Amino acid sequence: MDIFEAIKKRRSVRDYLEKEIDDKIINIILEAAREAPSASNRQEWRFVIVRDKITKDKLCEAAKNQTFMKKASAIIACCAQTDNHVMTCGQACYPIDVAIAIDHMSLAAVELGLGTCWIGAFYEDKVKKILGIPENIRVVELLVLGFPRNKPTHPKNRLPFEKIVFFDKWGNSK
């Protein structure tokens, strides 16, 4: 499928088949992350792949018991090994750069018939403790990955084009 189809098909999937995912698939998805761009090519992203049941259950608990996470094939802790560099525009590099890499993974997953869900509702200190992540590393998101139980077909609820796109000046819709 082309990129537009992948973008259109991508949904946040919260209902998974309990099915193992093998290294080959994990590697393809992580390779999509590795190819991402980053500010000054800093590549601060780091990923911890979790597939064993006990650790997934612990991560679910650290993520406010979003129980669907337990059935996913993998949970990827998307981290940053960062010097906290801030760009001239005032934004830190690392949340943006990790997000780009995660987006690559979530689109790659669609191409492979897999589903994902970004999780930001988790206690960072608990996740760090579970996965042995050092103090100086940030955990930016958890990415849930697995085989969707159903083909997600619910419509996307999005703001209309003219509310988010302006031409030449702020507020100038066409």
Q: Establish if 61 lies at the interface with a copy of itself (CB under 8 A).
A: no
When binding is defined by CB under 8 A, the residue of 21, 50, 60, 143 that contacts a copy of itself is 50
Helix 53-62 and helix 124-131, axial crossing angle in degrees, nearest 10: 160
**Which helix (H) or strand (E) is 161 found in, with range?**
helix 161-164
Give residue 168's identity as a one-letter amino acid code: D
d(CA 91, CA 77) in angstroms, rounded, equals 22
Asked if 17 is part of the footprint of a copy of itself (rule: CB under 8 A), the reply reads no
Is residue 16 close enough to count as binding a copy of itself by CB under 8 A?
Answer: no
Return d(Cα 105, Cα 67) in angstroms, integer: 22
| 106 belongs to the binding site for a copy of itself (CB under 8 A) | yes
Binders of a copy of itself in range 145-174 (CB under 8 A): 156-159, 161, 164-171, 174
The residue behind tokens 């970004």 is 118
Residue 47 near a copy of itself by CB under 8 A: yes
The pair of three-digit structure tokens given for residue 20, joined into one six-digit string: 């193992």
- Of 16, 25, 46, 145, the one binding a copy of itself (CB under 8 A) is 46
Nearer to a copy of itself, 7 or 17 (CB): 7
Residues 113-152 that bind a copy of itself (CB under 8 A): 118, 120-124, 127, 131-134, 137-141
43 binds a copy of itself (CB under 8 A): yes
Q: Does 104 bind a copy of itself (CB under 8 A)?
A: yes
Quote the least distance from Cβ 159 to a copy of itself, whole Å.
Answer: 5
Residue with tokens 């996307």: 156
Q: How far, in Å, CA of 25 to CA of 61, rounded? A: 26
What per-residue string of b and e applies to 91-115 under the rule 16 or more CB within 10 Å gives b? ebbbeebbbebbbbbbbbbbbeebb
59 touches a copy of itself by CB under 8 A? no
- The one segment of 14-22, 65-73, 88-96, 145-153 that binds a copy of itself by CB under 8 A: 88-96
